[in-house]
Amino acid sequence: MSEKKENTSAKEAKKKKISSPTSSFKVVVREIVKDKVALTAFIVIVLVLLFTFGGSLFLNAEKVTETNIIDAYYGWGMNGHIFGTDDGGRDILNLLMMGGRNSILIGLGVTAVCEIVGLLVGLVSGYYGGNVDAVIMRIVDFIQVLPAMPIEIVLVSVIPNYNPLSLVGIISLFGWTGTSRYFRAFVLSQRGRDYVLASKTSGSSDFKIMFREVLPNITSMIIIDVVLQIASNIGIETTLSFIGYGLPSTVPSLGTLIGFANDPVNVVSRPWLWLPATVMLLAISLSVNYVGRAFQRAADARQREN
Amino acid sequence: MWKTVLRRILIMIPQLIILSILVFFLAKMMPGDPFSGLIGPNTDPKQLEALKRQAGLYDPVPVQYAHWLKNLFKGDLGISYIQHVPVTSLIADRAVNTFWLALITTIITYCVAIPLGVTAGRHQDEWQDQAVQIFNYITFAVPPFVFYILGIWLFGFTLGWFPISGSVSPNASGFFGTIGSQIYHIILPACLVALISTTSIVQYLRTGIVDNKVEDYVRTAHSKGVPDNVVFSKHILRNSLLPIASSFGSVIAGLLSGSMIVESVFSYPGMGKLFLDSIGQRDYSTLTALILIFGVLTLLGNLLSDIIMSIVDPRIRIK
């Protein structure tokens, strides 16, 4: 983070340095355990995952989303519903588990697509450089200046047979550009390095250099980007669901739950509808981002050691 | 410098063309046609068919595109399918509201971000810096709409300090009464949006100050005996403000795309709210026009950023 700290930890790292380079995994674990906040964030993530994915195992999706108007709007702890019920008599605790899981799954799905596409485009663009790079980057530039959210909303509402997978596709349509730019910048800095030139001279194919030699060198960057992307994609999904153009209404999402707060009556007199989901989203975004940053610091530390 | 600006504007032309093609096809994907807004119970289907043919709806797609583009240049964005009024007048009413919201948000953003960034940069690693970093981290990590909800819950409902919807109170009278009421309605949403848009500015400013502090020219100034405050304001701050100036355009562009969420939470009658209302009512002609406007404004925002950058930083003009 800061100059002074970097210097001191670099010195420490030099002292510790042994003949073999430390594996990135070890550095990451050390960095996270050392940083108490990152450790807490990590524990929060594990708890959220246990709650959402573990809890959803015992739930039947159809039962959770079944409406029963007689049970509508129970308050905190009424009739055995810890977090009450919504307008359709659905148990908020159950919706929270499934909604949390769905939001996280969408976040993971979008991240997977964006990372794969972004990585491929970034590698090709950065490695070949020149005209290839220029053309690809103009396209990326253009997509980045498009108003993403309005277009996403229109696509969500006009696409036939809309389902969660289409949502992943629609968000990914705009998500990969940032990732590709990020990797491209780094690959561009690698293409003149000795190991790449040496490999080229010895007759390796471009394909081999890109995937067997450059790619392993950017693994730590991929990990960092994946973690930060997951957080930001969960944010995009919940935002879209919040305004009603994310996951279909039959699929619970954290955003849909928070969306209850769009009605002033719910904001004032029925906080159980939206407050738990809001707290959970806060917990997820803060902790996932923090762990991402801890990874970033760990990667920096590893770079200092090399 | 004019060369750079001119070149930058020339780059925008293909972007605008591609944007218009994209919006055109998006509009084609949406159900309905320009006459949907005019259909009433007494419409004769045959006459409608003739009108459609006359308007060129059965023409080949490129011809339709050219026709659409021609109308666009004439300022004709079509007629709202739902409200039966020209889309341009519908949008113009709302654009004024969004403009004021964006303006006040921008002012608050810079008023908050610059002192925060300067404090963090000057007191690097001290408690002030750490406090700013934590603030910055939270506003970066949490999705904006969560802040809006918590803000409206706390300041709008629980404390009752600010109105929770609309852009002006129906009871406001007189010129100053109306303006006052409008500002009163804008303050809370503007503050909440500003909170989020400070993040990148604070970060740029802090990094800039921290990096510039150790530059040779700063050391030279110090060794010449220039007082610390002068070194800071005349040398460090000036150079650190460069990226802030250039981020101006993208801040504006960001405000426009973010306007949808905040306007929906605060039921503020701006363009973002109009967009969401239109999609709810399937008013596709308005939607198409709005996407086009959002797109063009974002492009202009980025253009503005680059032009400001070339004015304040002569080094990039050479490229």
Q: In chain A, which stretches have pLDDT less than 70?
A: 1-28, 64, 69-73, 75, 77-78, 80, 89, 301-306
The minimal CB distance from B275 to the residues A150, A235, A286 is found for: A150
The domain locations on chain A are 42-61+87-305
In sequence order, what are the beta bridge partners of A91? A85
pLDDT at B41: 67
- What is the structure's pLDDT at B129? 87
**Would you call A147 and B140 a contact, using CB atoms and an 8 Å cutoff?**
no
**ipTM metric:** 0.83
Cα A78 to Cα A82, A92, B125, distances in angstroms = 7, 12, 49
pLDDT confidence of residue B319: 47
In this prediction, residue B103 carries a pLDDT of 87
CATH number for region A42-61+87-305: 1.10.3720.10
Which residue's entry shows tokens 């490999």?
A199
CB spacing of A264 vs B157 below 8 angstroms: yes
At residue A217, the pLDDT reads 82
Residue of B nearest to A148 (CA): B257
Instruction: Assess A166–B contact: CB distance below 8 Å, yes or no.
Output: no
- The minimum CA-CA distance between A76 and chain B, rounded to whole Å, is 18
B296 touches chain A (CB under 8 A): no
Structure tokens at A9: 């930890």
Cα–Cα distances in angstroms (integers) from residue A158 to residues A166, B173, B191, in the given order? 11, 43, 34
Q: Do B141 and A268 touch (CB under 8 A)?
A: no
B290 contacts chain A (CB < 8 A) = yes
Q: How far apart are CA B183 and CA B82, in angstroms?
A: 31
User: What local confidence, expressed as pLDDT, does residue A233 receive?
Assistant: 92
Q: Helices in B214-283 by DSSP H: which ranges?
A: 216-223, 228-230, 237-240, 242-265, 271-280
Q: What is the pLDDT along chain B (319 residues), one digit of tens a residue?
A: 777 788 888 888 888 888 888 888 887 777 766 666 566 667 777 777 777 776 666 777 788 788 778 877 877 777 776 777 888 888 888 888 888 888 889 899 889 998 999 888 888 888 888 899 889 888 888 888 888 888 888 888 778 787 777 777 766 677 777 777 888 888 888 888 888 888 888 988 888 888 888 888 888 888 888 888 888 888 888 888 877 877 777 777 778 777 888 888 888 888 888 888 888 877 777 888 888 888 888 888 888 888 887 777 776 654 4
User: In chain B, what residues touch A293 (CB-CB under 8 Å)?
Assistant: 137
Beta bridge partners of B79: B86
